[in-house]
Structure 1
Amino acid sequence: MNATVTIKPVVVGIDGSKHALRAARWAALEAASRDATLRLVYVIDAADADRQENIDRAQHALHKAWKALVDNHIDVKLESEIVTGDPAECLAAESRSASMVCVGDRGKHDAPDGPRGSTATEVARRAQGSVAIIRRAHRDFDHRKWILAVLDESASATAVFEAAKTDSAWRDAPILMLEPWSHSSRPIDARHPVHAALDRYTGDPDNGHLQSVTLAMPGHLTNLLRQSACIDQLVIVPGNRPELVAELTGEKMRKALKDSDCTLLFIRPEAPAGVGNGAARQQSSGDRVTAGQS
């Protein structure tokens, strides 16, 4: 008997901002592509958890996001939940039991004394699972724009490549792969899983319609992305490289990608199925709304 495979949900942070609505639409398409549930999560500050106006505001924001997704006819199963605590901490904790956590590049939950986008930055840096920072200047995807995959020989490299391959297929978008080994004089470890995955991909005739190119890994991605922000729709990088995450979530990168459609996806190997996010559950207000297929 085959074991049942549990598809982890895609989680998106909702705070009532237009950036959160854009993130919700992006996340809904990702969830639909993998037949996963989309969970809309609103975080109320713990100090204000008992104020009815904050609960009303949260419910209104969740309803607005829910309605926007239904009106866009995105066929995805929806859940929504209100939790209490620090937004970045709660969303980072959500990543333990999600396939991906999606946040807008800036929003109303940013710390008053922090820069715009501070919540998204903290989630990307602190989460144990994969995180996407959604930046959408336009409503629709441009299938001519590239998906950029940063490949190395880390533990997340194969997951990065698989994510790029999957997104390329359903978006019908080309892949630009940045990798160091074919542009280096050092020997290649042919046994590494990412090399085997690449060989299978390039040798599969069914992938002939998908355009893919490899380039040398630059010393810094900021300059490359600054020059190509208008032609990249998604940048996928290993999330277990702190220096790379810090570079891509820094102020220089935020300015470089301002008003672009370039989303950042930080891939981390998934935790085993059944591992819960106890921190978020301990902070939960217990107010949960669930719905069926939209």
Structure 2
Amino acid sequence: MPTTTPIPAGTQPTPGSADDRPQAPPLVVGADGSECGLRAVRWAAEEAVRRDAPLRIVHATPHHGHRGVAGSAPPELPRARGATAQAYTVVRHTAPSVAVTTEVVPGDPVAALLRAAEDAQLVVLGITTTGAADELVLASVAQRVAARSPRPVVVVPRSRSGGTGSRPHVAVIGLGEHEDDEPVALFAAEEALRTGRPLLVLHTRSDDGGEWAADSPRWAERWPDLRLTHTPVPGPTGGRVLAAACPTPLLAMTAGHGGLLHRPMDGLHRWLLRHCTSPMAFVPPVHRVTGKEPREEIIAVG
């Protein structure tokens, strides 16, 4: 059963609005006590303010529920509670008005986060980018959750070189099936409007297939208040995408459909997770909901 982390007196979760409006679904953020995890918590807290939504901090431990020596509490439990309490403190300092809860849940982190995603509107995870052995484990969690989540997943790197200033948000169109472009466009446009930033749309597919997402005037019709720029990126390697997009406050794309050898994500997505220093949003493809199997595509990663 989920365990709510004890909160000291006087620091209880902020109550929601007193009116009768239904509360928005929460944002879920994974907390592991690491530096990159806390960076993700800060990003999630700021996003919760923008969305006027509650925030749910989740820490999963496979040994939760197992008894220690002589029936004592498992030794992992104090560390898990410490990680969620630290994340709670970060939220209180970052966004005092956000309603926040913390949970320590049993089981594998990927499975726990996917369960939490079912009732959420967004999942936020931290990821490191230096390539150390222990960081590859964290990268695996973020990759597997982003590849299977029914909700968009934002992956926040440990560090970002320089600031983004007035740089635009970026949407990458054309990495999956034609039908996958619309969810990416909707997500990216709404995020850009929430932050008051412009949006740069990178078109990686030369054949637009008549889809509205590849048509600049139709974007303007749907979002007349959105400042838009469209740029073609033919032959979308990872390096070309980063050169055209970064640094950016947020890089949005479809989560893809996996590659050969049952890998959870396409090669380009895996490459970007290792090399991108800006937050990345992976939007679930349409086939994840409909059950339709997309055709295989091969995209260069270098």
**Normalising by the residue count of structure 1, what TM-score does the alignment of the two structures yield?**
0.73
Once the two structures are superposed, the pairs formed by residues 32-111 of structure 1 within 5 Å of their partners are 32-46=49-63, 49-51=66-68, 52=73, 53-106=75-128
Cα offset, 1:158, TM superposition: 2.6
Contact 1:11 1:41 (8 Å CA) reproduced: yes
Which letter does structure 1 place at the counterpart of 2:230? Answer: T
CA deviation string 1:87-113 (max 9, x = no partner): 112112222221111110149xx9969
Cα offset, 1:166, TM superposition: 2.2
Structure 1 unaligned regions, length at least 5: 273-294
Secondary structure, in 3 states, of the residue corresponding to 2:88? helix
Secondary structure, in 3 states, of the residue corresponding to 1:149? strand
Using the alignment, how far apart are the partners of 1:36 and 1:155 within structure 2? 28
Using the alignment, how far apart are the partners of 1:221 and 1:117 within structure 2? 20
**Equivalent residues, number:** 256
144-153 vs 61-70, which moves further:
144-153
Is 2:49 the partner of 1:9? Answer: no
Contact 1:10 1:39 (8 Å CA) reproduced: yes
1:127 aligns with 149
2:195 aligns with 171
Cα offset, 1:255, TM superposition: 4.1
Is 2:47 the partner of 1:30? Answer: yes
Which protein is richer in strand relative to its size? 1
Once the two structures are superposed, the pairs formed by residues 264-275 of structure 1 within 5 Å of their partners are 264-268=280-284
Secondary structure, in 3 states, of the residue corresponding to 1:218? coil
CA deviation string 1:117-159 (max 9, x = no partner): 1111111122232211111425996342231102246444333
Which letter does structure 1 place at the counterpart of 2:28? Answer: V
Using the alignment, how far apart are the partners of 2:281 and 2:64 within structure 1? 32
Contact 1:157 1:194 (8 Å CA) reproduced: no
Structure 2 unaligned regions, length at least 5: 1-20, 290-302
Secondary structure, in 3 states, of the residue corresponding to 2:25? coil
Using the alignment, how far apart are the partners of 1:113 and 1:21 within structure 2? 15
Structure of higher RCO (CA pairs closer than 8 Å, 6+ residues apart) = 1
Aligned CA RMSD, in angstroms, stands at 3.6
Secondary structure, in 3 states, of the residue corresponding to 2:44? helix
Contact 1:111 1:119 (8 Å CA) reproduced: no
Using the alignment, how far apart are the partners of 2:253 and 2:209 within structure 1? 23
Secondary structure, in 3 states, of the residue corresponding to 1:30? helix
